[in-house]
Structure 1
C-alpha cells in the first residue's frame, strides 16, 4: 500500500480527509495526520510517506517553504497542496515546486478518488539520492529564473530564495549546466531581447526593461558584445531578410 500523510492546521480538515474515502480499500495507508509541520517532519524522516497532502497556509510556516525544507532533506513525496480560494493564485506557484496537484477546500469525494487513481499510477516516489536532489533543486531554480529573469538577480539572491548557500548555487550551475549563473542569466535575457527585436515592434527602451536592464547604454553594450551587432541593426537585418524572403516568394 502507498503510505499517505496529511498536514493541515485545521482539525476539521484532517478529520474530513480521513473519513472522506476508505483509504485502505483504495490501496492506501494513512500513516499520520499532523497540525504542525515541525512534528510532521520528524515523523517523515523516520518513515517517509509516498504521498503528502499539505495545507498551503500553516501558522508556523507556509506550505511551500515547508516543501522546500523537506526537499532539502532528500525527501520527495508526491505532494498535493490543499488551498482555500484566498490562496488559489498562490497555490499555482506550487506547481513549480513539483507538486502533483492542488485541491480547493472543502474536498469532494469524487475529486479525491480521481486524484488517488492518478497517484496510484505514479507508484512510489524516489527519495533522497544525491543526483535526484541536485536535479530537482536545479529544476526549481531554472523555473524561477524563467519567471523572474527581468528582475534584479544575483547568485546570492537566488541562493536566498531557495535556502542554500551562494557557493552551492554556483557549483550547481557549473556542475549540472556547464556554465555559470551569470552566463545562464545572460543567455535568458539575450534570447528574450532577440525575440522581441525580431518578432515585435516593441520600442528599444521597453525591451531594455523587459530584459532586466535599467540602463539603455549598458544593454546596448551587452547585446552588441553578445550578438556581434547592435540591437537596432539586429532588428533591421532581420526585417530586411524577411522582406527579401517575401519578395522571392511572390509570383
Structure 2
C-alpha cells in the first residue's frame, strides 16, 4: 500500500492553509521539499493566494488540498513538469451555493515564442504590416509526440529560465539554438502587455510573444531554408513560410496570435 507524505503551506495574504499530499512512490524519486520549491508551483500558489485574498462573496474559489499525481524531471535532475489534482470548489455566498469545479492541473511554467519576419529587398520600402509573396515567417519543424505529429511547424519557442522573468534572454537563446539566427534583446518587440494562456483549462503555461523583422537578401533566404537546428536531443528543421500563407497553413496558435498582434502593433504605429 502506497503511503502518503504531507506538508501544509499557509498562504501569506489570504492566510488560507493548503495541504500538499504526495504518494511515497513519487516522493522516493523526488522529495516533497523539492516539489514545493518547483518555481511554477511557487508561482501558482502565489497567484492562488492573491485570488483568494481579493475574492468577493459572490465569486470565490476554495482550494485546501493538492494531491500530487506525477512528476517528470529533466536529465539534470530539475523538475520539468508537475501534475496534481485539487479539491476545488466555487462559492457564491449570495446564493448560498457551493459547487465542485474541475481541478486537474499540469504545471510547466512560463515560455516564450518569437515571430521573425524576413523581408527581401523587394519589400524593404513597404509598410511592415504588408504580406507580400517575398516576405517569410521563420518556423521550426520537429516531431511532437503529444499531438502526435512527426513534422509540426511552429514558432521558435522555449521554456523560460527561473531568473528570466520576461523571457527576453530565453528568446535570444532559443532563436540561435533552433534556427541559427542571431537576434539581440534590442531587436525584440513585446507583442502583448500580459502573457497569453494557450490551455488554461488544465495547464498553467503562459507564453510571452516577441517579434522582430530582418531585411535579408535572396541568398540569405536560401541559406536559412531547410537549416538543421536544435540541441542534441532535438530534431529541428528550419522552414520558411510565406507570411501571406500563414493564416491557412499554420496549426500553431502561437504563430497565428503573434502574426495578428504584430499586424496590430504596426498598424497602430503607422496611424500614429
**After TM superposition, is the score higher than 0.5?**
no
Q: Select the structure with the greater relative contact order (CA < 8 A; seq sep ≥ 6).
A: 2
Query: Structure 1 or 2: larger helix share?
Result: 1
The structure with the larger Rg is 1
Q: TM-score, normalised by structure 2?
A: 0.24
Q: Which has the larger share of strand?
A: 2
